[in-house]
């Protein structure tokens, strides 16, 4: 896999609703490897291999991330904000941020006051951002309401093939779906592969809805992240025992197709890929929720990468887990090509 492009993806801000710059990089990177691209007004990019195949496998990983948005500028030149997606508000106190504007990045800091530090019920609209301006007029020369903000953090390589960084949720999944296409092409697959880097998952699921409507896939593999519980005070009773570096995670639940999971398990056993499991008895909280409900119930599986400290500015995951997920999904595409009978699960008649 191309680690350099993964790192480029992590470094490119892409809050939900402002994914355009990252999507352009995906197109540039994938252009030599695909037969064509699909896109739509909502901003999805779908890398397509073997478009003439009657069997269409949709691989979906969202490229958007959580962040903040400017709502107003105060008389003293400070920025007031609201959340974009499920941020953990206390983690932003004292944090450096990047304000994304039409003319480039404006740097700032989330302010810290004794009252904010003591507020047990801190909300995003309690925060303010200091960009160094001293008046509203000065700040308005650079920033306007509606501007997006993301945490100003970078990636770092850690021990044991781990990395930390902003927005591993879900740069890892988006990277996996395009690398799985590249790997499957190397292996000679002829099945129709539609690797969708979807938009808006953290806020509306709109990208998943439109990708499914556009492609009308035979089946789908969703790739996202999930909670690792291999550290102190993690909620393992709710999630289960899931380790960073322990391999990709399969979800079991009401919208997961059991035959697809069984096939993934057989392939993992054949290619010595360790698997972990999580329970998703209802909603999965991923693009899969929207995709499954399109076009009469698309059969799908959910493959996740364990990360620690989700929705923080420094999530931690394993590059080995990413590499294993790419290989598993690429091998799955070859298995579909050989013939995967979904008829036992299409209906009860």
- Residues noted as catalytic: 201
Residues 281/221, Cβ–Cβ less than 8 Å = no
Torsion, CA 188, CA 194, CA 200, CA 202, rounded to 10: -50
Residues 151/313, Cβ–Cβ less than 8 Å = yes
Q: Quick one: DSSP state of residue 190?
A: -
What is the spatial distance between Cα 319 and Cα 175, in angstroms, rounded to a whole number?
11
What is the spatial distance between Cα 175 and Cα 166, in angstroms, rounded to a whole number?
14
Number of other residues whose CB lies within 10 A of the CB of residue 105? 13
How far apart, in Å, are the Cα atoms of 269 and each of 173, 264, 279?
22, 9, 21
Which neighbouring-strand residues pair with 98?
Answer: 107, 150
Calculate the CA 307 to chain-centre distance.
12
């Amino acid at each position: 896999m191309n680690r350099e492009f993964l790192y480029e993806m992590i470094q490119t801000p892409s809050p939900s609703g402002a994914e355009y710059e990252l999507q352009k990089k995906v197109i540039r990177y994938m252009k030599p490897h695909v037969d064509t691209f699909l896109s739509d007004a909502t901003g999805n990019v779908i890398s397509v291999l073997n478009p003439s195949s009657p069997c269409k496998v949709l691989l979906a990983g969202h490229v958007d991330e959580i962040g903040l948005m400017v709502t107003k500028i105060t008389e003293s030149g400070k920025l007031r904000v609201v959340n974009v997606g499920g941020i953990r508000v206390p983690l932003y106190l004292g944090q450096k941020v990047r304000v994304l504007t039409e003319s480039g990045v404006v740097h700032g800091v989330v302010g810290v006051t004794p009252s904010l530090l003591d507020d047990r019920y801190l909300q995003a609209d309690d925060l303010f951002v200091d960009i160094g301006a001293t008046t509203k007029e000065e700040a308005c020369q650079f920033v306007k309401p509606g501007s997006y903000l993301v945490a100003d953090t970078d990636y770092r390589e850690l021990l044991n093939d781990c990395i930390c960084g902003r927005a591993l949720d879900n740069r890892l999944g988006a990277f996996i779906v395009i690398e799985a296409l590249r790997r499957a092409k190397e292996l000679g697959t002829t099945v129709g592969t539609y690797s969708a880097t979807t938009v808006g998952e953290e806020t509306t699921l709109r990208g998943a809805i439109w990708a499914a409507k556009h492609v009308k896939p035979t089946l789908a593999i969703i790739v996202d992240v999930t909670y690792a519980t291999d550290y102190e005070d993690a909620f393992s009773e709710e999630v289960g025992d899931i380790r960073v570096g322990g391999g990709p995670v399969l979800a079991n639940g009401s919208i997961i197709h059991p035959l697809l999971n069984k096939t993934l398990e057989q392939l993992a056993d054949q290619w010595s890929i360790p698997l972990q499991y999580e329970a998703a008895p209802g909603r999965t909280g991923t693009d899969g929720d929207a995709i499954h409900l399109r076009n009469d119930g698309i059969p799908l599986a959910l493959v996740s990468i364990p990360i620690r400290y989700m929705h923080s500015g420094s999530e931690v995951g394993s590059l080995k887990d990413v590499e294993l997920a790419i290989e598993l999904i690429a091998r799955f595409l070859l298995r579909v090509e050989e013939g995967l009978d979904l008829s036992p699960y299409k209906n009860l008649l």
